[in-house]
Amino acid sequence: MSPIISPSEFQNLPSENLVILDARAGKDAHQKYLDRHIKNARFIDLDKDLAEVGENPAFGGRHPLPTVEKFGKAVSRLGISEGSHIVIYDDKNGANAAARAWWMLKSFGFENVQVLDGGFENAEKNNFEFSSSEESFEKAAIIKKVNWLLAASSLEDVENELTNNSATVIDVRDSYRYKGEFEPIDLVAGHIPGAINIPFSENLDENGSFLKPEILKEKYLKLLENKPEKLIIHCGSGVTACHTILALAYAGFEIPNLYVGSWSEWSRREGKEIVKGI
């Protein structure tokens, strides 16, 4: 199953076993959901469901992963079962939290998980049916898992791989953040020494939809030529990085490692080198 679903494909899906998740994020995200969302969508919260926000981002970053057990409870509360076909959207073309939800659901073991191409805006353009207020649905039985199934790298992993030149570390933040020209979210500007910059926005066309798989594949093969094959993807806090992981999967690459702590962890960890410029 393709990790990306077009609006037309979405509108032709059978309703049986379909679970739609609204993954918009930000302080007003839940209110936006209550005001207007794709009909039958269920709200999934970045900070409560898709992360276990700790006291010190120097250890885990701003959006550390929850335990697999805790996520299993969120999955149950959202009415997701083994046979569910899950479609996720946000209002940032997948970069807000939809791609993070996709990564976590895949890592939990779900196969039928897709992100709506173009997200909420594309749904509006394509005259989707919308609703307001909470949706009613039944909880599902709790699915028990022991570990996340997809590869995630720690700060120490990233440091060792870069030291040994055994992996390519990709920073998907905007170039001005990578270069350290301005940092709007974290405390320190700059980037991890040795990381290369491929902004996640380059995965999209001028309309905010994902580039075609063959175009993405050609693009990344060229960008990663003569570089170590193992890929570790990071961003500010391990959320937007999943957008590029999603794009790579869409292009037919193996799902690479996610550095969950990302820049929010590295930049706060005492003694870690920080680079500015290219």
CA 198, distance to chain mean position in Å, is 15
Spell out the SS3 assignment of 238-262. CCCHHHHHHHHHHCCCCCCEEECCH
Bridge-partner residues for 86, per DSSP? 19, 113
Q: What is the DSSP string of 94-159?
A: TTTTHHHHHHHHHHHT-S-EEEETTHHHHHHHTT--EE-SPPP----PPPP-SS-SS-EE-HHHHH
For residue 204, give the 3-state DSSP assignment: strand
Is 235 annotated as catalytic? Answer: yes
Tell me which residue of 110, 195, 116 sits closest to 150, measured CA to CA.
110
For residue 57, give the 3-state DSSP assignment: coil
Residue of 65, 75, 204, 235 marked catalytic: 235
**Residues forming the active site:** 235
